[in-house]
Amino acid sequence: MSEAYNNTQPIYLQILQRVCRQVVRGEIKAGDRLPSVREMAVHSGVNPNTVQRVYSELERLEIAETRRGLGSFITENESRLRLLREELKSEQIGSFIKDMRETGFSPEEIQEGVRKELLKTNGVRGE
């Protein structure tokens, strides 16, 4: 079951981001065991070395830890996972604002547009 990847960034980074989003969404919880490198490689349709790089980066970021003989696990450090959530939120919002500003929208237009869209998604008319 191979994933689709884009050509704009390295595959290991795309997998890393996917795992981080799964953690933030709660699909992967604190203390959960990650698939073995081989399992993840087969599932993702990539070389095991790519997955090893992902796992090493997750460890470096203190999002996962390797337990000798047991495998890799998502950290149980809730404050680190909250920080991950805040980092991803900030990245997404920053990227959105940058794109909107480059398109020519003012901060006020961006705020009003976001407000209207939030009202729409909550089932309330923002007129």
Chain segment 44-91, per-residue pLDDT in tens: 999 999 999 999 999 999 999 999 999 999 999 999 999 999 999 999
For 84, the 3-state DSSP assignment is helix
Contacts of 23 (CB under 8 A, 6+ apart): 29, 63, 74, 81, 84
Give me the pLDDT at residue 73, please. 98
CB atoms within 10 A of CB 109: 13
Do you know the residue count of the chain? 127
CA 19 to chain CA mean position, Å: 6
pTM: 0.82
